[in-house]
Amino acid sequence: MKDERTKNNQSSRRDFISQAGMLTAAVAVSSAFRPSVAHASVNTTDKKELSGKTAFITGAARGIGLATAEVMAQNGANIVIYDIATAEIPHVKYAMSSEEDLKRAKLGIEKLGGKCLAVKGDVRNRSELDQAMQKAVKMFGSLDIVVCNAGVTQAGDIEQFTSEEISTVYDINVAGVIKTTQAAAPIMKKQKSGRIIFISSGLGRVGNPLFPIYTSTKWAVIGFAKSAALSYARYNITCNTVSPGLVNTKLVDNKYILNAMSPNNPTLEAVDKVMQNINPFPMGMYQPEEIARAVMLFASNVTAKVTGEVFDISSGATANNIG
């Protein structure tokens, strides 16, 4: 039985690797978009595209959230970074961000010339979200962009997850996204404008045996985002999704996840090399900044009349998908 379980685990990991082009994702931000984004971000005397706008970003003390905050600050936005900033969450097996991460993130954004409000809060708590968004409006005058980025991951076989572990990842990845949207929508409806951008995953487009619960939450994010797009279009609120694959962040770069993905050599370098070998586009993991530029696209004038869409960032792996 032990040998059979070992074989099954090895098979699951092989299945994961075979699909990892999806996970390796994070946006193949097309080179056609990069010059315009870079031009809008730096070295311009023109009014910046997001000048006077306020962006509220969850899970923004580090990783994709922080990179998004920095890109939007460079483009003139006032920034609200909202993060749990608590190193340990029960039933999550790797370290979260810290209060020091949140402080550093704020200072970094201000060094870029952006105004920044840092809020320690939990996306599972609707009251905290409401208070933070009201504070943002009071301080900056509006709530124009909301990025639902906060999330956690898990790895393992389906049967091994406890009820508490399942509830935790769903409460953060799915209910947290819904509550963030619920808090933002009344403000944006009153303004008759807004952009809500959801961060899903390459695993929100396929199945995966190594991340089965996480994968299901990221499918749910896309389904909710499309429903929100239909609900809020008449209020001039767009709702779009960015679905990255594997990105070089602390969600991946920790002992728990690296051991699950590459048990024989649990290092970020080993995982990155695997990705280089299997991705249709010959590259390893994306960097958070690359995903942030894709998020910025959905906050820009280019997509003012685009809603309900999903931007897959997958090094070409989504070319294997149907539809």
Q: Where are the domains of the chain?
A: 52-316
Which is the CATH superfamily of the domain at 52-316?
NAD(P)-binding Rossmann-like Domain (3.40.50.720)
CA 41 to CA 34: how far, in whole Å? 11
How buried is 7 (Cβ within 10 angstroms: 0-12 exposed, 13-18 middle, 19+ buried)?
A: exposed
Whole-prediction pTM value? Answer: 0.86
Q: Is 214 a catalytic residue?
A: yes
Per-residue pLDDT of the chain (323 residues; tens, 9 = 90+): 445 444 444 544 444 444 443 333 333 333 333 333 333 344 434 689 999 999 999 999 999 999 999 999 999 999 999 999 998 999 999 999 999 999 999 999 999 999 999 999 999 999 999 999 999 999 999 999 999 999 999 999 999 999 999 999 999 999 999 999 999 999 999 999 999 999 999 999 999 999 999 999 999 999 999 999 999 999 999 999 999 999 999 999 999 999 999 999 999 999 999 989 888 888 999 999 999 999 999 999 999 999 999 999 988 888 887 76
What contacts 166, CB < 8 A, 6 or more positions away?
213
Question: Residue 173 corresponds to which tokens in the numbers above?
Answer: 């990845």
Alpha-carbon distance values, 290 to 27, 28, 176, 218, 296 (Å): 7, 8, 24, 20, 10
- The confidence score (pLDDT) of residue 131 equals 98
**Active-site residue (options: 82, 94, 214, 232):** 214
